[in-house]
Chains A and B, each alone.
Chain A
Amino acid sequence: MEPHRDEQLAADLRALRPTPHPEFAAELDRRAAAGFPRRSRLPRPSFALPWRPSRRLLLPAGGFAVVAIAIAGVLIATHESEQEPTGGSVLGFLNAETPAEDTPAPTAAEEATGPVESSGEAAGSDGAGVMFAPESAIAKGSARHRAVERSAEMTLGADPEDVADDAAKVFAAVHANRGIVLQSSVEEGSAGEAGANFELLIPSRKLGDALADFSAIGEVRSRQETTADITAPTVTTTELLRESGARIDSLLGQLEEAETESEREAVEAELRQERRHRTRLRSDLHNLHQRANMSGVSLRIETGASEDSSGGGAWGIDDALGDAGHVLAVAAAVAVISLAILAPIALVGLLAWLTHRAWVRRQRRRVLG
């Protein structure tokens, strides 16, 4: 046999070209016509992933995961801002600017559902007509609910000639909300001189409505609300009051059993002292309930240009920019939170995918060896 030449070798190789069996070719044609239904009997390579999700599933699943993580981030941020009312979180202003006006926090006394005693030393009523519940019920209620003292400051802008009318509207609003005007002063004059000041007590349940009514009177130039948790002193005073009652009952028992005059006098002296102590406690508790039930509002009507705003007006471009800034801050916070959660996951997934891909390529190169 002659040595192989290039052309001859190429011809021989082409002649050795494998051809598919007609049955296989026909079967493959049939499958091609049917759009290659999944039937491959070729086992997956040992280094392939056991299950590969389709892209149709990946897209909605990924979107759902992003939305869920974003919502979780917002909820976490909101929860943290509730824990920290002074505003440690970027989202803190959401809560700081939207207090629960319509649903003021119920006080311990308001939450007590037991029957109100109309006689005896354990019951009473405050000046605003709020009835006190039994002390035991108060104690239980205090354990479950918070007693919160609320106060507000508001400044309204008005024209000098409208000050008197606006002051009358303030009185009407206070009356409509069953509030009390502790102090008021109305000054007439030119712009900057004319104005009015009010010190008000508004039922805490009505504080939101009252502030809304005041806001409707004129241009709101400033509004500030503060809250203080007085649950601890309320609970402590309630407990002391209960102990005092028990002490008085005990002393009354001792008084009945006293046999000598000196013993009786000693017990009576102690009883008087304990009753005075109890009276003080009841007064303290009454004040605490008063603070929780009634919110102090300092309202001021001023004339002339606002000290804080150069443009004036109810709602201007500065307010719009401020609102836009807040919205952007919230969006940025959500994006940052989502990114902080998703980025490590995506990075790990990317690294795993790259590692797997590199390993598969290496295995294929090794096969070519």
Chain B
Amino acid sequence: MEQTLVAEAKDAPREADLAFDRLYRSSRDDVYAYVAGLLRDSAAAEEVTAAAFERAYRKRKRFDPKRGEPRAWLFGIARNAALDELRRRGRQAELTAEPADLGEASTPVGAEHDERRLAVSAALGHLTTAERELVALKFFAGLANAEIAQVLRISESNAGTKLHRAMNKLREACDGAA
């Protein structure tokens, strides 16, 4: 449906604005979650998310539906912005998830849940940036493997394999911590 909307946007500038608005509303939190998961810094994530939407808005009329889903296109822009930010900082994203983020994200209440999630959060720090990006795209942004493949410009099977390896590594890290 989004692809159709953006394809129509090529014919009418007004439609392009409406289509982008729909894309923004459906993807705002997902983009932020992905960028925050990659950067591990909520303040920087806000800046990068805003910059990514700004860039996407400027380029909205150049979007070609033949080259992929609009959501994948948007995440590609966000990814470049996030990597540029990481490069600018000259450091890898540190595992410094803010308590407020965890608190807001957690729905179930219980000591065992909190303990397990703290272990998962700590285990994320053992992943490389590329592995953490896969996890963020899959579980924070909620992208399907096909969309992840489009964002990373790899094949879908390759994306699935890499994700599987990252999850294995994450599980081992969690089990090791336990």
Contact = CB atoms under 8 A, between A and B. Distances in A.
B29 A19 contact: yes
Given A6-B167, A15-B105, A368-B128, A28 B28 contact: yes
A152 B41 CA distance: 88
Nearest to A20: B32
Interface stretch (A34-42, A175-183, A201-209, A224-232): A34-42
A266 B129 CA distance: 114
Which of under 10, 10 to 19, 20 to 34, or 35 or more describes the interface residues of B? 35 or more
B33 A19 contact: yes
A3 B88 contact: no
A19 to B, nearest CB: 5
A217 B86 CA distance: 85
Interface stretch (A44-52, A129-137, A156-164): A44-52
Interface of A is mostly: loop
Interface in B132-152: 133, 135, 139-140
Nearest to B131: A368
A14 interface: yes
A36 B97 contact: no
Contact of B112 (A1, A31, A44, A363): A1
A144 interface: no
B175 to A, nearest CB: 5
Nearest to B89: A367
Contacts, number: 144
B5 interface: no
Interface in B4-24: 17, 21, 24
B50 A42 contact: yes
Contacts of B87: 45-47, 363-364, 366-367
A42 B85 contact: yes
A42 B48 contact: yes
Contacts of A12: 116-117, 120
B84 interface: yes
A1 B178 contact: yes
Interface string B51-63: 1011001100000
A13 B102 CA distance: 11
Contacts of A44: 84
Contacts of B84: 44-45, 48, 364
A18 B178 contact: no
Contact of B129 (A1, A9, A38, A369): A369
Contacts of B86: 367
Contacts of B48: 42
Contacts of A18: 32-33, 36-37, 42, 45, 97, 101, 105, 140
Nearest to B40: A18
Contacts of A46: 87-88
A29 B105 CA distance: 21
A247 B45 CA distance: 99
B44 to A, nearest CB: 8
Output the residue of A6, A45, A48 with the most chain B CB within 10 A: A45
Given A14-B139, A368-B128, A368-B129, A21 B42 contact: yes
Contacts of B135: 13
17 contacts: A1-B119, A4-B178, A9-B171, A16-B102, A18-B32, A18-B42, A18-B97, A18-B105, A19-B33, A20-B32, A21-B42, A28-B28, A32-B57, A38-B54, A42-B48, A43-B88, A47-B87
Interface of A: 1-4, 6, 8-10, 12-21, 24-25, 28-29, 31-32, 35-36, 38-48, 363-364, 366-369
- Which 7 pairs of residues, A with B, have the shortest CB-CB distance? A18-B36, A13-B139, A45-B84, A364-B83, A42-B51, A368-B130, A36-B57
Given A15-B108, A16-B139, 17 more contacts: A1-B119, A2-B178, A3-B175, A9-B170, A9-B174, A12-B116, A14-B140, A16-B97, A17-B105, A18-B37, A20-B28, A24-B32, A36-B57, A42-B85, A364-B87, A369-B128, A369-B129
